[in-house]
Amino acid sequence: MKVDTPCLELKKTIPISGVPGPPVLSVSSIVLAPDGSIYFSDEYNHRIVVLNAEGEFIRAQGGRGAGAGEFWYPRGLALADVNNTTMLVVCDAWNHRIQMFDLDGNYLSEFGSIGEGEENFNEPVSVISDMEGGLWILDRCNHRIKRHRADGGLLSTFGKGMTMAQEEEKNNPVNILLENIGAETGFHYPMDFIQLADGSFLIVDTGNHRLVNVSQEGAALRSIRMDIEEKPPFSYPFTVSPVMGDVVIVGLLNAQSVLLDINNPWMRAGARLNSEPGRSRLAPAWKLKGGAPELVVADSKRLVIDRYELALVENPLAPSAPQAELPGGASLAEIPGRWDKIDRHDWGLYLKRGDRPEADMELALKYLDSCKRSASVAAQILIEVEGELCQMTPPLYNARDRVRLGGMNAEDFEKARMEVARAALSFSGALEKRTALRWRLIKDIAAAVDLLAIDGKAGHWTKERSAFADLLKSEYGQREKDFVETVKWIREKFSRPDSVGMEIVTNAFAVIFFLLDHLNYLIAAISKLDRSFMEPDTLKDDKRVLAELVKELKGDVRNVTNEPEKLLGLLCERWGFFETAQAAYTRKAERNHKSSEVYARLLTGLLQKTGELEKAKQILDRFAPKDVSKTTTAGIWERHMRVQKIMTQDPPLSITLSQG
């Protein structure tokens, strides 16, 4: 795979000269005017400085303040053409506003103030103008991008604050990696962004150590990790500038700037600028009349402007294949942390392109073997962690139940609250570990499936695809057996009210939660490799019923410990174990807790369903509000009362209606 990409050659260094007042401390942003003059934001001196093409001082404007034309840490700059007039747009970061000036430095207008609303900003740091006169603004501490008209009117907005750990917890890897459903992606204190040739944006997601490519509607297209391993020293990207084609230069706070091909992300190398890390700002590459393309870099420590000429050479960044050694090993410790976020992805991109030359076949086999071994390790540890979580659910439920029940003196109540906190903390720690392992496992499976499924269309990998599908089917068979045996045990226990304790219930639902998850991702993976695969009919009914109940948990197994009586009652109603359901609802309704009314309504509905109308009347008399019209649950109580009235008529209304 041959890729021509740019390299940089320093052609000229121009001293920044004649700037009055305090020395330039920090160049935060730099833009070039059509006549070659240079505008930069001197952030720590709260001003904008204008130089000619030779670095000579023309003027400075601003000063610290909040008035018109004053700044408080100005950052991003852009030139915008609005109504046939070119304006300088300034992100006045700590005044949380956007100011606009003509090219002579005269103040024109402003918009924005601090806050989280549509018209607000919280530290705008970068701005891009578009062909329609719109302004795209990176609102750093609100973790979003907004598009405004030049008069300040909001056109669109997208983005939210999310760390990568929060993304993993919120998104389901089965949907994203195996079913191609878009992920919900956020940003964590982004510092810069650029617009690519296709109109999408490349965002420097500094707090997450990555670049994120998003559409103009905010849909995540891809991400590029700047760290391979999540351990110090971390890479903190803070600037990005287009260079040529799909190659960008990424400035890092604590390391050398990096040239990166965003379509071949394994092709990266140090940019070899003369500036120290974190001390330079780059203007987008531009082309002088009659000359070669240039990259203009402002260095605030050396107080110079460096001009680099760009030239195309064949593969200056790296050889055509990724060079990092393929990971994988016998234990989790041998697998570099989060290698799958960058190296594995890079290998996948490389191996999926076109027909495989013979030289790549050995690499592809190693890649597949690495994915399988890593998945095996993750699966083994994941099952162990899920076992620990199942054992933790009863103690957590008991601790919470004691606090909910109350009736203790202040000292005992405080001890009970601390017990809940300790149990919840341990549970959350194990759950975070499960989330990370689950993502690792499904990413490994999806990587292998993706490569094998695509290659299958071209007639390659028939043997490997069949072998991997058989491996997944074997795992599915084991999980299916576990599910059937667990459901059989639960049915036996739940059929007898005297054998059902809440410890059993919480443990049982946690086991079902995890087993359903394993079955779902295995079905999704196998179906991509073998379209003839069908889920066994013997599994469908119980799986459907239990999957509907698991939805009550809203994707969080911790909710098993909140209202297990409700889950127990609903399941037993579905299975016809009405005595057990009645016992579960009654237990909760009679505890004088704030949720008693909820269980009283469930109990009323069950008693009416089973024809125990006298008991239903007693529950209505005891729990229904005197004036239901004034309650938020008026509709539910009124429905129960209407049903009770209809069913107790003599003769029953159903008979009257049938006789006309």
Give mean pLDDT in consecutive 10-residue pieces for the chain, a chain of 660 residues. Answer: 65 89 85 88 94 91 95 95 90 97 94 94 95 93 95 94 85 77 86 92 93 91 75 79 82 81 72 68 54 77 84 54 44 37 58 58 76 87 93 90 82 89 91 88 87 60 86 92 92 88 89 91 90 78 82 78 87 91 88 78 89 88 78 78 81 45
- Amino acid in position 590: E
DSSP state of 647: H
End-to-end CA distance of the chain: 82
Within a domain: 652: yes
How confident is the model at residue 152, as a pLDDT?
A: 93
Do 639 and 527 share a structural domain?
no
Do 196 and 48 share a structural domain?
yes
Query: By the 8 A CB rule, do 295 and 308 touch?
Result: yes
Q: In what order do the strands lie in the sheet with 124-129?
A: 124-129, 135-139, 144-148, 154-158
Q: For the chain, how many helices (H) and strands (E)?
A: 14, 25
Within a domain: 334: no
How confident is the model at residue 382, as a pLDDT?
A: 93
Angle at 466 between CA 465 and CA 469, to 5 degrees: 85
Beta-strand pair 258-261/4-15: unpaired
Query: By the 8 A CB rule, do 196 and 466 touch?
Result: no
How far is residue 273's CA from residue 308's CA, in Å, rounded to a whole number? 9
Do 581 and 631 share a structural domain?
no
Within a domain: 352: no
Our count of domains for the chain comes to 3
Query: By the 8 A CB rule, do 524 and 178 touch?
Result: yes
Domain that holds residue 285: 4-314
Q: Which of 145, 128, 112 is nearest to 76 (CA)?
A: 128
Q: Which of 139, 145, 128, 34 is nearest to 78 (CA)?
A: 128
How confident is the model at residue 449, as a pLDDT?
A: 87
Helix (H, G, I), strand (E, B) or coil at 6: strand
Do 309 and 444 share a structural domain?
no
Find the Cα–Cα–Cα–Cα dihedral 417, 163, 349, 310, rounded to 10°. -160
Query: In three state form, how does the secondary structure of 84-141 look?
Result: CEEEEEEEEHHHCEEEEEECCCCEEEEECCECCCCCCECCEEEEEECCCCCEEEEEHH
List Cα–Cα distances, 104 to 60, 248, 360, 462, in angstroms: 10, 31, 58, 68
Do 576 and 493 share a structural domain?
yes
Within a domain: 351: no
Do 154 and 70 share a structural domain?
yes
Q: What pTM, to 2 d.p., does this model score?
A: 0.74
How far is residue 298's CA from residue 2's CA, in Å, rounded to a whole number? 33
Q: Which of 592, 597, 588 is nearest to 562 (CA)?
A: 588
Determine which helix (DSSP H) or strand (DSSP E) holds 192, and give its type and residue range: strand 192-195
Lookup result for tokens 């402007």: 305
Q: Which of 168, 231, 235, 246 is nearest to 206 (CA)?
A: 235
How confident is the model at residue 278, as a pLDDT?
A: 58
Do 535 and 634 share a structural domain?
no
How far is residue 93's CA from residue 123's CA, in Å, rounded to a whole number? 4
Query: By the 8 A CB rule, do 577 and 500 touch?
Result: no
Do 551 and 655 share a structural domain?
no
Last residue of a domain, one of 278, 297, 314: 314
Last residue of a domain, one of 284, 314, 344: 314
Last residue of a domain, one of 564, 589, 614: 589
Query: By the 8 A CB rule, do 143 and 189 touch?
Result: yes
Angle at 113 between CA 109 and CA 116, to 5 degrees: 140
Q: Give all strands (DSSP E) within 403-544, no chain letters.
A: none
How far is residue 599's CA from residue 589's CA, in Å, rounded to a whole number? 5
Q: For residues 475-493, b (16+ Cβ closer than 10 Å) or e, as one string? A: bbeebbeebbebbeebeeb
Lookup result for tokens 């009586």: 565
How far is residue 594's CA from residue 120's CA, in Å, rounded to a whole number? 40
Helix (H, G, I), strand (E, B) or coil at 631: coil
Query: By the 8 A CB rule, do 110 and 121 touch?
Result: no
Do 444 and 363 share a structural domain?
yes
Q: Which of 487, 632, 591, 611 is nearest to 549 (CA)?
A: 487
- Residue 129 belongs to a domain with what CATH number? 2.120.10.30
How far is residue 655's CA from residue 633's CA, in Å, rounded to a whole number? 31
Within a domain: 330: no
Within a domain: 349: no
For residue 394, which phi and psi values (nearest 5 degrees)? Answer: -60, -45
Do 297 and 172 share a structural domain?
yes
Within a domain: 388: yes
Do 527 and 628 share a structural domain?
no
Query: In three state form, how does the secondary structure of 321-368 look?
Result: CCCCCCCCCCCHHHCCCCHHHCHHHHHHHHHCCCCCCHHHHHHHHHHH
Within a domain: 486: yes
Do 594 and 576 share a structural domain?
no
